[in-house]
Structure 1
Amino acid sequence: MDVASSSSAKKTDTKRPHTTATGLFSPISDDLLHNVLSRLPALTFASAACVSKSWNQICSRILNRPKLASALSLHPSPKVAVNEVIEKVLAEPIRPHFVVANIGSGFRLYDISKLISKKLGSSVPFIISTSSGIVGRDALTHEIKEVKWGEVCGDGSDEDCSIPAKDVNCGILLTVGFVPGLKVDVIPLLRTTKEPREVLLDKFITDIMDYTASVSDCTSPVGIMMFGDGLLDMKPIVDALDYTMPAETVIVGDERGRFLYRSENESRNVCGSAKYFTDAVALIFAKDKGKPHGIGDIQFQIALSNGVSTVGPRHKAVSVKVNECERSTWLTARREGHPEILDGQQILDDINDELGNHADSSDLYIGVTKRRKISIGSEKPRWITSLEYHGVVGGDDQYLYVSGVGIKTGDYFNFYRSDPQTALASCSNISASLKNLKLEENPKHRRHMSEVFGGFMFACCGRGEPFFGRTNVDGSPFVENFPRVPLAGIFCGGEIARGSSRLTGEAQKDNDARCTLHVYSTIYLVLSYTPAPAPAPLEH
């Protein structure tokens, strides 16, 4: 090599980008190191972040946006199934802020919780629930799958985690979330074990507000994801949350199932306690008052696909009897504008005429408009108007029999039936709304626009392939518009949804009948992120 070449080489060396990394990899530029670290699986990435301060800073820049990772496995072995989904969700860099696992009744909750804790650590808050089916991407094939099982029975206990001897409903959907700018934890709804067994509703709401206040600048969380155990009527619980929380707080979930959970606050982990049963759990998402500079905002938006249509005229309850043992109601009624009091058989005959003698009580409901007083703690009671669905059990020459209690003389109600055509039209409308949301993600101005990074879906266990005649209908509005964005969906024993939908332009007025527990619906929770605005350039 001549002198000129040598001199040229020296000058080239001096122009190499300096790196803050040290040791063996000191010649690597920050850009190249960023590229390498961003391709690591999550566990290796976590180890790399501990190498040095400079590596940690690069890792923090890589994970500066929220992320949802989700996968399902139908392997009959719990150990293999958990390994498959964990390997998939941890294939890329992510720092778990929360974990949600939904399993078939053929897996034991306790076994799954041990396997997940072993892989993800014992400090991440999680909820593991038994569901009626799962929707998501297969961990091995990456294909969207809709898996429909049966309705989850509510007689299982989260303490004994027992399952039928020959249950073949095996599978797991695992979702891990990284949500910078939010704080996440699990809060249980407790019931005392001593008679009379008291549901500690006021404590539940106070715990939610106190936790939110401790990590945020307010007492109202951004979102609440709930799972009930099926033995408790969730209507008063969700109504109380609806009453307490501002309209901006989104509430979604599954009314009936079985679950295990872990909170970051050890005092809340009371599964197996001699003092308390756990009737429900809530995953709380609250704004982080210590949010680092440069982190944007996460938005929770919901949309609802309605799957029922009204049948016949409105009725008014005349005489009402309650069967507490069976948790059912017997009633007679008048059609609006008519003086005649109708028994159960007369009412059902009218509905049969409306439906052309195709009525089936298994998919028939009454939607009762209820005006009731509600209060939390020592607050003055306030009137709220709500719509509550009760399944029609049957009727005779005395009464119409419906499931559930809480109906009073003078309450008005309409009949509803499950309707695939209504559901399809509703799914189409939601798909169009999500398409508009997708079009707003302008790549040229993405730094200032929201972008969808994940979604959850809660569908009625009565929907799915038997309802529509084909698979993957419920997930299609999200998957078709955001094919590369993770979707975690379950089939529920009762869909919880509360909140105005900015996606579909649906806004609920204070004087409207608010519905928080739905039937034959699918709830979509869309998670989007708006980056923080870039700092203004300095003026010279």
Structure 2
Amino acid sequence: MTKAKAVLAESLDWQEALNEALAKLASFGEIDLLCVFASAAYRQFYPSLIHDLYTRSGARTLIGCSGQSIIGNDREVEESPALALLALSLPGAKLRPTHLSQEVLSGEINADILGHILSQSTGLSEPDINAWLLLADPFTTGDAEPIINALTVAYRKRPIIGGMASGQFRMRETHIFLNGEVYDNGMVALAVGGDYTLRPVVSQGATPIGEAWMVTAADQNMIQAISGRPALQVLTDSMKTLSPEQLDKFRKQPLVGLAVDEYKAEFGRGDFIIRNLMGADPRTGVIAIGDIPRIGQTIQFQMRDEVAADEDLRELLSKSRNEMGGNMPVAGLLFSCNGRGSNMFAESDHDAKRIAEALDEMPLAGFFCNGEIGPIGSKTFLHSFTASLGLFVPTKPDA
């Protein structure tokens, strides 16, 4: 029988947290997949914690990682010791995990090579896979974008959801978990196939400002001209459309949106990949952004604040629920930026609560990330300040 349960345990002592979490799962039965997110406060005890959890739970597959802050059901425990588990019984699912080491990921990676590696390590060919779940160490995978791009090409139209592990702020160290092992490098990838898949809901929480324009001259991440005008002049004109309050928010965190689909007749929220506006040169009129735009790509300046982020998440959850109809999710995994939570919202537990409200208190677990992985349109990106939600749903409504 399909079942899911998420539990959250808070304690300074890792053994107390583990015992409490397992006690809450005592009546669950057989576990096909156990997702684990453990506070960085337990880092020195991870080998014992993960080994004990894997052994005592009897889970067929265990995956997870360290987190600066931990999410369980409708709670977000920020920078305080906690352990969140999501137990799943998914009859008919094909769940095949693998660890990709730092050595593998630092070599030449393209779609063919990565596809071959994953096929060999998971035992599943490309048609057998419905979705991918990724958990990665941000400090040893290097630039994760080429890996994500290669995976997108190798498994076209398959959702890819996940996050970059996080830890204690001052330490450049994170950990990822697979079955009874703890790794301080690379990436854990879980292929999801058979009767289940992952449905993505990716909320970037940004609102377009001004008009949509076209990049007409650029060199790497430096945009020289937008619609034939100096890029800085277009930025200045866009800022003139803002109220004093909006202008203050934009100046604190200026953003740009690069359109994912050039062929849309109109552009709005959710049609852009959001990147930082990194600087501007008044002498040349050039602006620098946190990505490499294409000549001819549509660009629009963006603003992110608490109101926009709340509206965006609500709208996307409502839209996703309507599209799913009666094929509701069994459970969800939430990968939320460590810049969200109390850093963005006045209300505590904001993202977790919104998901609980929209999806009937569905079992949920996750963590605050160093980068969130999820699709915009047909392409998967590495994001920041984003809530990336993966919903476990049957591939057939009656599964």
Deviations 1:431-463 (A, max 9, x none): 43466479x55xxxxxxxx45321222223332
**In the alignment, which of 124, 132, 147 is matched to residue 77 of structure 2?**
147
Distance 1:363 1:190, change over 3 A: same
- Are the equivalent residues in 2 in contact too, given 1:317–1:409 (CA < 8 A)? yes
* Mapped partners of 1:101, 1:435: distance in 2: 26
Query: How do 1:130-141 and structure 2 match up within 5 A?
Result: 130-137=66-73
Aligned to 1:380: none
SS of 2:35's equivalent in the other structure is strand
Q: Is the 8 A contact 2:235 2:301 kept in 1?
A: no
Change (3 A) 1:117 1:302: same
Aligned position for 1:190? 101
Q: Structure 1 residue 101: deviation in Å? A: 1.5
Q: Does the CA-based 8 Å contact 1:387-1:515 persist in structure 2?
A: no
Answer yes or no: is the 8 Å Cα contact 2:176–2:187 preserved in 1: no
> How do 1:485-500 and structure 2 match up within 5 A?
485-498=362-375
Tell whether the 8 Å contact from 1:366 to 1:389 is kept in structure 2 after alignment: yes
Unpaired stretches in structure 1, ≥5 consecutive residues: 1-64, 138-143, 150-168, 273-277, 288-296, 322-328, 372-385, 442-449, 500-507, 534-540
Shift of residue 390 of structure 1? 3.1
Structure-1 residue corresponding to 2:33: 98
Is the counterpart of residue 471 in structure 1 residue 358 in structure 2?
no
Match of 1:71 in 2: 7
2:145 corresponds to which of 210, 214, 235: 235
Q: Which residue pairs with 2:266 in the alignment?
A: none
Instruction: State the alpha-carbon separation in 2 of the partners of residues 236 and 75 from structure 1.
Output: 38
Q: Residues 200 and 82 (structure 1 numbering): CA distance in 2 closer, same or farther, change over 3 Å? A: farther
| Residue 337 to residue 393, structure 1, CA distance change in 2 (3 Å) | closer
Q: RMSD across aligned C-alpha pairs, in angstroms?
A: 3.6
Tell me what 1:205 maps to: 115
8 Å contact kept, 1:82–1:116:
no
Report the Cα distance in structure 2 between the residues aligned to 1:184 and 1:350, rounded to whole angstroms.
51
1-structure distance, mates of 2:318, 2:381: 24
Deviation at 1:225, TM superposition (A): 0.9
1:312 Cα deviation after fit = 3.1
Shift of 1:350: 4.0
Per the alignment, residue 261 of structure 1 pairs with 177
Find the counterpart in structure 1 of residue 192 from structure 2.
285
Distance 1:305 1:334, change over 3 A: same
Report the identity percentage.
20
Taking a change above 3 Å as real, the CA distance of residues 397 and 478 of structure 1, as seen in their structure-2 partners, is closer
Instruction: For residue 112 of structure 1, report the CA deviation from its aligned partner.
Output: 2.6
Q: How far has the Cα of 1:481 moved from its partner?
A: 4.5
Deviations 1:481-533 (A, max 9, x none): 4445311132222221138xxxxxxxx47xxxx45333433233222345768
- Work out whether 1:335 is the aligned partner of 2:226: yes
Q: What is the rounded CA distance, in whole Å, between the counterparts of 2:317 and 2:199 in structure 1?
A: 14
**Which has the higher Rg, Structure 1 or Structure 2?**
1
Paired residues in the alignment total: 371
Contact 1:189 1:280 (8 Å CA) reproduced: yes
Match of 1:480 in 2: 357
In structure 2, distance between residues paired with 1:468 and 1:392: 22
- Between Structure 1 and Structure 2, which shows a larger proportion of strand residues? 2
Matched, 1:390 2:275: yes
Instruction: Tell me how far 1:113 sits from its aligned partner.
Output: 3.9
Match of 2:390 among 525, 530, 537: 525
Change (3 A) 1:224 1:461: same
1:9-24 equivalence runs, <5 A: none
One-letter amino acid of the counterpart of residue 130, structure 1: S
Distance in 1 between the 2:300 and 2:323 partners? 34
State whether structure 2 residue 22 is matched by structure 1 residue 86. Answer: yes
Matches within 5 A, 1:367-446: 367-368=257-258, 388-398=273-283, 399-403=286-290, 406-407=292-293, 413-433=299-319, 436=322, 441=326
> Which residue of the partner structure matches residue 200 of structure 2?
302
Q: Check conservation: 1:188, 1:204, Cα contact below 8 A.
A: no
Unaligned runs of 5+ in 2: 167-173, 262-270
Output the CA distance in 1 between the equivalents of 2:329 and 2:294: 44
Deviation string 1:224-262 (CA, Å, 9 cap, x unpaired) is 111222232222222222222132x22111135332233
Conserved? CA contact 1:191–1:200, under 8 Å: no
Which of these residues, 20, 24, 48, is aligned with residue 114 of structure 1?
Answer: 48
How many angstroms apart in 2 are the aligned matches of 1:433 and 1:336?
A: 33
Q: Which range is displaced more, 393-402 or 416-425?
A: 393-402
Separation in 2, partners of 1:335, 1:131: 40
Cα 1:396–1:359 shift into 2, 3 Å:
farther
Question: What is the match of residue 252 of structure 1?
Answer: 161
Verify the 8 A CA contact 1:308 1:519 in the aligned structure 2. Answer: no
Aligned AA (1:459): S
- Deviation string for 1:402-448 (max 9, x for gaps)? 345x456665533222133333223333443466479x55xxxxxxx
**Cα contact 1:368–1:388 (8 A) shared by 2:** yes
